[in-house]
Amino acid sequence: MTVTLDDLPLRDDLRGQKPYGAPQVPLPIALNVNENTHPIPGAVADDIADAVAKSISGLNRYPDREFTELREAFASYLGHGLSPDQIWAANGSNEVLQHLLQAFGGPGRTGFGFAPTYSMYSLLVRGVGSEWIAGTRGPRYEITAEDAARQVREADPDVVFLCAPNNPTGTPLSIEVVEAVYEASRGIVIVDEAYFEFAPAEATSALTLLPGRERLVVSRTMSKAFAFAGARVGYLAADPAVIDALRLVRLPYHLSAVTQAAATAALKHSGEMLRMVDDIVQQRERISATLEALGYDPYPTWSNFVLFGGVDDPHETWTRLYDRGVLVRDIGIPGHLRVSAGTEDETSTFLDALAAIRD
């Protein structure tokens, strides 16, 4: 007999839900999950390997539960006068967000975000037994400070998610929106800056707003700009009291010694790692310009991907690209697809394939 979820004593609020998922298929050009497709530079990889090798001799012991050296490295990288006691880290930014929801969400509480936005927010919110409330965006997926504050006041959520820039649309989020939402809310405000390194140099991070705002949290990840998706390292900055709250819900020794060693070594090469960002941004701009020339509608983006409209049949276009060895993302917005900026060669392959099926 085949057992299904219906046969198990699953929580009622999880019935009918779908897990997060994106196709994982061995195509030559995978531009569907916003990875940094540039490999880690050889010299940096060697240093990371050395650090990991040194950590192996101590694997019979539990790792540093407070990941002290890594927190110091993150504080130094972020700057803005941050101290290590304002830093938290976990196995990817999704676990960071989960810790926040375990501490500040839960049954009888609500989480809020402006749809469309990162699909994991609603899954994480429901995963801790909270209710997800979806706000709205403008016609080009923008958010104004006045409208954002109004929606937050009306929803009165316990946790607010602000994706800056937004995933899956790439839309920039102004610092004025963050300020307005914070003033309009009574709960925790999370600014997810997973793609912030791809924003223009003059962009203002929500890290500048942390002083005096004990309910504000700024989360980041090493998956994107640092090409560390496989290592699973996310982190946040907040008031030290927020960090104390997260200690109440984290699993013991949740960051392995290997993870700590690899991430700390990578951060020592932040300048070299971030030079990859410049090339990725060039490819992103090239994608947007070519999409427009092909008659599509690319949206403004401060991320490492481009959302584009004007796709008559997204599934057919996705399939025809797939057949040419190129994997992009159908995110479920009618008439739209999303593509990550790859290397120059990967980007060329995508654009050539798209032009061929456009003819």
Smallest CA-to-CA distance from 336 within 358, 306, 310 is with: 310
pLDDT at residue 16 is higher than 90 = no
Residue type, 200: P
Q: How far is residue 315's CA from residue 99's CA, in Å, rounded to a whole number?
A: 36
Tell me how far CA of residue 281 lies from CA of 42, 197, 277, 284, 307, in angstroms. 21, 10, 6, 5, 14
* pLDDT band of 359, cuts 50, 70, 90: low
**Per-position DSSP letters for 233-266, written without gaps between them:** -EEEEE-HHHHHHHHTTSPTT-S-HHHHHHHHHH
Smallest CA-to-CA distance from 141 within 293, 304, 313, 298 is with: 298
CATH topology for 5-40+271-358? Aspartate Aminotransferase, domain 1 (3.90.1150)
Task: Say if residue 172 is preceded by a cis peptide, omega within 30 of 0.
Answer: no
| Residue partners of 65: CB distance under 8 A and separation at least 6 | 252, 253
Tally Cβ neighbours within 10 Å of residue 165.
23
Q: Is 212 exposed, middle or buried, given 0-12, 13-18 or 19+ CB atoms closer than 10 A?
A: exposed
Q: Which two tokens stand for residue 318?
A: 């996705």
**What tens digit of pLDDT does each residue of 173-222 get?**
999 999 999 999 999 999 999 999 999 999 999 999 999 999 999 999 99
Q: How far is residue 155's CA from residue 35's CA, in Å, rounded to a whole number?
A: 33
* Second CATH level (architecture) for the domain 42-269: 3-Layer(aba) Sandwich (3.40)
**In the chain, ranges of CATH 3.90.1150.10 domains:** 5-40+271-358
How would you classify the pairing of strands 337-340 and 305-309?
Answer: antiparallel
How would you classify the pairing of strands 87-90 and 305-309?
Answer: unpaired
**What tens digit of pLDDT does each residue of 144-165 get?**
999 999 999 999 999 999 999 9
Smallest CA-to-CA distance from 284 within 305, 298, 264 is with: 305
In this prediction, residue 17 carries a pLDDT of: 85
**In the chain, ranges of CATH 3.40.640.10 domains:** 42-269
**What tens digit of pLDDT does each residue of 106-117 get?**
999 999 999 999
**CA neighbours closer than 13 Å in the CB half-sphere of residue 339:** 35
Structure pTM?
0.96
Q: Is 332 exposed, middle or buried, given 0-12, 13-18 or 19+ CB atoms closer than 10 A?
A: exposed
Q: How far is residue 278's CA from residue 290's CA, in Å, rounded to a whole number?
A: 18
Smallest CA-to-CA distance from 340 within 266, 288, 295 is with: 288
Smallest CA-to-CA distance from 322 within 21, 37, 24 is with: 24
**What tens digit of pLDDT does each residue of 303-354 get?**
999 999 999 999 999 999 999 999 999 999 999 999 999 999 999 999 999 9
**What tens digit of pLDDT does each residue of 210-269 get?**
999 999 999 999 999 999 999 999 999 999 999 999 999 999 999 999 999 999 999 999
Q: Which two tokens stand for residue 173?
A: 């989020």
